[in-house]
Amino acid sequence: MSAGERRATLRRQLNTLVAAHHHRTNLPHGKIHAELRRLCGGPPSAQATIEQLEERIATIQTL
């Protein structure tokens, strides 16, 4: 899998987890993404590195 494909897969996984968190908490998706950026740092998901996406995925799994 190329780096671009890996990033796309991680973005989809992150968005799925954000959607699940939204359904549990009723927080808007944007607010959840913003909180993950606050906790983990980095740019929005579309510009995030593989490492940043992996960190956000790990973080949301603990929320």
21-30 confidence digits (pLDDT tens) = 999 999 999 9
Output the pLDDT for position 35: 97
**In the block, which residue shows the tokens 């607010």?**
31
pLDDT tens for 37-55 read 999 999 999 999 999 999 9
* Residue 28, φ and ψ in degrees, nearest 5: -65, 145
Output the pLDDT for position 41: 94
What are the structure tokens assigned to 7, written together?
């990033």
Give the span between the Cα atoms of 7 and 50, in whole angstroms. 6
CA distances from 23 to 4, 32, 44 (A): 29, 11, 21
Please state, for a pLDDT cut of 70, what percent of the chain lies above it: 100
